[in-house]
Homo-oligomer: A and B are copies of this chain.
């Protein structure tokens, strides 16, 4: 199934089912008012939603309307928790060089993860208001999963079975603020403003061969102002999502609707390019002695779209956002 959330006057939006070709949408709010509610009552509502989804794809639903992602917020406009890992080793190693921070201990065997704010997510086409270009405005293309309730100390296998939905994420980052926050040991706070999401959240079966080994087996095509930044492949994730969820649940319960992120998609092969500017800049420093690519300015746009290995478009829709000044 594919879901989106139509903006309305509620904090959680209105549940839409989206057809497999992303052209039609059906208001499913009579089954569950919003996606978060559906996740809380999944066993009860999933069979009903599946029947509606099948009918939508067969073209047999008169109430279906054209799907307009510009009217959608994030699939979950807010969520109980948002925990973001850094599970691509290449990204982590490059960021250590970019930030001049010491190597993270046990980085290849123990997941690292920060807790992000989850009360104010941005939709796929929302402007991104930020206070200052001097903060080093950067995007981070990622994938993530949305889970059912997970008990404390769940195993990685149990955790893998808790995955309800797969999503595509832009984890906005302010690079001038990150190194200090890392040096305090307290982690990212100011360096991580509101996170953005592609419009469509999908059940893992929608990915077919694109979901294997607990990983998203798609590329993430990223462009800045229409120019290619990269298309790294997410299959290179060092941990599977079960391991990441279990890491988050080690000493706490996770409420249904919690989001676990992969961290910036990144590949050993430099030919794949990058899913963030900080990586590209450190590669420029390593190769050419200094960075050529600036961080983002107000008015710059980032475009992110997942693609299957055969080049066809992924199921999540597109993130296409402009950075703007808050004007304070």
A residues with CB within 8 A of B: 78, 80-81, 83, 86, 101, 104-107, 110, 112-120, 129-131, 135, 151-153, 174, 177, 180-194, 247-248, 250-253, 255, 258, 326, 328
Q: Which residues of B are found within 8 Å of A252, using beta-carbon distances?
A: 117, 120, 193-194
**Contacting A83 at CB < 8 Å: which of B135, B180, B189, B194?**
B189
Q: Which residues of B are found within 8 Å of A113, using beta-carbon distances?
A: 186, 189
A109 to chain B, nearest CB (A): 12
**Contacting A251 at CB < 8 Å: which of B182, B190, B255?**
B190
Q: Who on chain B is nearest to A258 by CB?
A: B119
Instruction: Report whether A189 and B152 are in contact in the complex, using a CB–CB cutoff of 8 Å.
Output: no
What's the number of copies of this chain in the assembled complex?
Answer: 2
**Contacting A326 at CB < 8 Å: which of B83, B116, B152?**
B152
Q: With the chains together, A186 CA to B84 CA distance in Å?
A: 10
Instruction: Report whether B180 and A152 are in contact in the complex, using a CB–CB cutoff of 8 Å.
Output: no
Q: With the chains together, A119 CA to B253 CA distance in Å?
A: 10
Q: Who on chain B is nearest to A253 by CB?
A: B120
A91 to chain B, nearest CB (A): 13
Q: With the chains together, A243 CA to B113 CA distance in Å?
A: 27
Q: Which residues of B are found within 8 Å of A130, using beta-carbon distances?
A: 152, 251
Instruction: Report whether B190 and A187 are in contact in the complex, using a CB–CB cutoff of 8 Å.
Output: no
Q: Who on chain B is nearest to A327 by CB?
A: B153
Q: With the chains together, A183 CA to B110 CA distance in Å?
A: 13
A131 to chain B, nearest CB (A): 4
Q: Which residues of B are found within 8 Å of A250, using beta-carbon distances?
A: 131, 190
Task: Given the known inter-chain contacts A115-B114, A115-B116, please indicate yes or no for A189 contacting B248, CB distance below 8 A.
Answer: yes
Q: With the chains together, A185 CA to B328 CA distance in Å?
A: 30
**Contacting A105 at CB < 8 Å: which of B78, B112, B117, B184?**
B184
Q: Who on chain B is nearest to A80 by CB?
A: B119
